[in-house]
Each structure stands twice: as structure tokens, then as C-alpha cells.
Structure 1
């Protein structure tokens, strides 16, 4: 798991060839104006999902992980907490191959994802997004860039 300022994203391009396509996408001037939906990025299978939602109480959130994709999560507006853990420390539910999605059960530590920051979650990283930053729900607009492993 990586948490850093979006201004530093180019320092991570060496991790994976798909991060270059992700960097080009995140350098767009209109990120906050993008409507919800899926955006294909380049020719390497990288894509972005733009979504808007209300954060929830921690008890309503769950830990998840993915096998085929690395997640690059960028909050455009609003704030959220994201629980993080190592998958090997969790109990796993059945993996849904079609959705590249698996629920996990375990303990998490929390990071704060606010505008101007990004988090990268690799297949061994459990992550629990959409948790309230403060004492009440908050509207969030977020981009999740999916980079094929």
C-alpha cells in the first residue's frame, strides 16, 4: 500500500508500466468535472472508474481485495477513511472472478484519503473504502484507476 500526494505520482511510474497511462489520465485538468462512469485509458487494459457516494459508518463498510488489478484511488472531493491490512492476516470469503472481488474479515488500520492524495492497493492489500472521515456522512467523488497485474 502506498499513500502520497498526487504531486508525487510520477515518482511511482517505475513500479508498473500501466502507471504511465494512469499518470497521463490524472494530469487532465477536468478530473473533478468528469461524470460518473468507466474510462478506458491507453491500450494496456488500464481503466478508470469515476464514482460519487456518501461515506458510511465503519460498521457498514467491509474489507476487500482484488487479484487481477492494482487499485489507484484518488479522492477528488470530500474526505474518507480507508481501512488497510495485509490479506494474509485476514479470513477470506469466496473470490468472485468475474468481478475480481473478494471480501475479507480482519482488523484494519486507517488512513485518511483527502483531495490531493492518492492510495495504491496491490493484490495483497486488503482495503476498506467509504468510511466516514468525521462524525457524519460526507459526499465523495473519487476515481479508482484499475491497472492490470
Structure 2
């Protein structure tokens, strides 16, 4: 069994998993934004139930506008696996419904956000901004608790 994540101070770091269907849009933005704001205080993962081949280019562009380069950070769509769910303290789903595995004892949140698939950057910006708002609130809660 894996050791719990520790922060630079040795304290337990909360682990958060963001899940959407293709891991090419919402979950990638959420993971990058939480990692950006948390500055190492939270372990962040993202995955998809049916991962796409690449990240949505409009999502990459929208994140670049915030100074977050998904591609340089090595972000790629990943397949959801049981280990990622089991390791997480909080699992946040975004539109995957019944395709996301459920494990008793895990904390689940569902963020009902529009899917940016097939959208241009103008349509992605408000989704990104709402994710950013949700991520900041989540981070405040995780670090307070």
C-alpha cells in the first residue's frame, strides 16, 4: 500500500482526483488550477473514463491566457483507474455520471459544468473561470480542515 502523501513540512497533504469523460478539458483545467493555487500543499490528479488522444486545443489556449502551460507541464489525457480513486481524499466528477467508479468512504463532489469539447476559446473561458472559482473554494476548505 502506498504511503500517504506528505507536504514539505511532513504533514499529510490532501489528495484530489478530478474526473471527466475524456480528461481533455474540465478535469485538466481543474487539476492545473488546483496545482497552481496549492503550490505543493495538495496532491492533484486527473483522469477520464474514456480518455481522448489529446487535450482540447481551446482548453490549452484558455489556460495559457492564465499563464499555465498544460503542454509544457506534461499534461496528457489519462485513463481512470481504481488506484487513483482509492488514493484520493476527494474525487470530483464532471459529467461522467455512472461511468465513474464509486467507493464507499470516499468523498465525492460533482461539479456540473458545461463540456468544452468542440468549443472555441471564447466558450471555454467562462468554464475555466468557474472551475477556478470552485478550485479556490475547495483549496480554502482543504487547507482549513
TM-score of Structure 1 vs Structure 2, range by shorter chain: under 0.3
Comparing both structures, which one devotes a greater share of its residues to helix? 2
TM-score w.r.t. structure 1 length? 0.27
TM-score w.r.t. structure 2 length? 0.27
Higher RCO (Cα < 8 Å, 6 or more apart): 1
